[in-house]
Amino acid sequence: MNDFERQMQQVLRRSERDIDDQTIQELASARTAALSARNKQRVPRFFVPATGMALASILAVVLIMSPDMMERTNTSGGQEEVLLGESMDLYEDMDFYYWLAREDSNLQG
């Protein structure tokens, strides 16, 4: 320890010894109140594993039910195909239209 640390330690020890009785009582009552408040906020020991089990159960249900949810979203795509039926044929034949455009520029007549 260097000299500064020793001096500070002596100052703190001296101020600790010179505390009046009223301040000591106030500090003790504040400590007691803080400890009792901490004990009231403590979570029961069974609560942590119970919460973990509940979360694991919810996760399992979500994972089990998710394939059903995917099937429901895939079956709703049929309505879009009916609405876009004719325009979908246009997109399917896009390679033909590209070929036609290339050949059209080579045609003479």
pLDDT of residue 28: 92
Judged against a pLDDT cut of 90, whether residue 30 lies above it is answered with yes
* Predicted confidence (pLDDT) per residue in 90-107, tens digit: 667 777 777 777 776 666
For residue 44, what is the DSSP state? P
Mean pLDDT of the chain: 77
- d(CA 71, CA 60) in angstroms, rounded, equals 18
* Predicted confidence (pLDDT) per residue in 47-82, tens digit: 778 888 999 999 988 888 876 665 665 555 555 555
Name which of 66, 88, 91 is nearest 77 in CA terms.
Answer: 88
The phi, psi pair for 47, rounded to 5°, reads -70, -35
pLDDT of residue 45: 73
